[in-house]
Amino acid sequence: MNTMKKQEPVSRLYVIGVLVANISGVLSRVSGMFTRRGFNIDSLTVGETESSGFSRITIAFHGDEDIKERIIRQLDKLHDVREVEVMEQNETVTRELLLIKVRNTAEYRQDIMSAVEIFRSKIVDYTASAVICELTGETSKIDAFIDLMKPFEILEMCRTGIVALERGENCLKTVR
């Protein structure tokens, strides 16, 4: 009898940068590739780059090494994709933006203000009934702030998803 258990592939978070032509329909084709292949996207951000002809898509997803390689190969096949790069965790700066609206009551006002100060957050709107805080940072910091705000009644929140740049001079290169 074989008592060896089959090793499950190790799932981890991958962040990839994708440089694409800044034209209509590219985002739909990129996200559609994930849908057709059954891959789940944890976060997706898109914006114009320093060159108006290109947009940068940052995609975060969980998977194993095989899934990561399949995603990269499929993205490379898309016509308007110029560059695909895995953003290695120890060589990359990642950030998210959070806007969170919390109930503002006299009972909890000081606790909310203390949390805002400790997390180096910023109050961007204040009324007698609600306060909106802005926070940027790594995902773990954003998650911790959300958890801290839950007892004060979160009324609404919105987060951007991960944006990432490699440290140093390494860049996604534009094809000129």
Domain that holds residue 129: 93-163
* Confidence bin at 1 (pLDDT 50/70/90): low
Which of 51-60, 96-105, 142-151 is predicted least confidently?
Answer: 51-60
pLDDT tens profile 9-29: 678 999 999 999 999 999 999
Please say whether the dihedral angle defined by the alpha carbons of residues 7, 8, 9 and 15, taken in this order, is positive or negative.
negative
Phi first, then psi, for residue 32 (nearest 5°) are -65, -35
Residue 126 forms part of a structural domain: yes
User: Is residue 107 within 8 Å of residue 150, measured between CB atoms?
Assistant: no
Query: pLDDT averaged over the chain?
Result: 91
pLDDT score of 115 more than 70: yes
Q: Are residues 127 and 81 in the same domain?
A: no
Neighbours of 43 (CB within 10 A): 17
- The token pair at 1 is 């009898």
pLDDT score of 55 more than 80: yes
Q: Are residues 82 and 109 in the same domain?
A: no
Residue 57 forms part of a structural domain: yes
Residue 3 forms part of a structural domain: no
* Confidence bin at 4 (pLDDT 50/70/90): low
* Confidence bin at 176 (pLDDT 50/70/90): very low
Residue 5 forms part of a structural domain: no
Q: How many domains does the chain have?
A: 2
Looking at residue 11, what is its pLDDT?
83
Which residue reads 């209509």 in tokens? Answer: 24
Q: Measure Cα distances from 52 to 48, 108, 163, 175 in Å.
A: 6, 46, 18, 13
pLDDT score of 41 more than 70: yes
Rounded (10°) angle between helices 139-149 and 109-118:
170
pLDDT score of 151 more than 90: yes
Q: Are residues 106 and 71 in the same domain?
A: no
Q: Are residues 99 and 70 in the same domain?
A: no
Last residue of a domain, one of 86, 102, 133: 86
Q: Are residues 68 and 131 in the same domain?
A: no
Kindly state the average pLDDT of the residues 84-103: 95
Residue 176 forms part of a structural domain: no
Q: Are residues 77 and 102 in the same domain?
A: no
Residue 7 forms part of a structural domain: no
CATH code for the domain in which residue 101 is found: 3.30.70.1150
Residue 81 forms part of a structural domain: yes
**Percent of the chain with pLDDT strictly greater than 90:** 80
Residue 4 forms part of a structural domain: no
Looking at residue 172, what is its pLDDT?
82
Q: Pick 125 or 37 by higher pLDDT.
A: 125
Which residues are CB-neighbours of 160 under 8 A, at least 6 positions away? 45, 96, 97, 98
Q: Are residues 19 and 73 in the same domain?
A: yes
Looking at residue 174, what is its pLDDT?
54
Which range of 49-58, 70-79, 123-132 scores highest in mean pLDDT? It is 123-132
Q: Are residues 21 and 78 in the same domain?
A: yes
CATH code for the domain in which residue 71 is found: 3.30.70.260
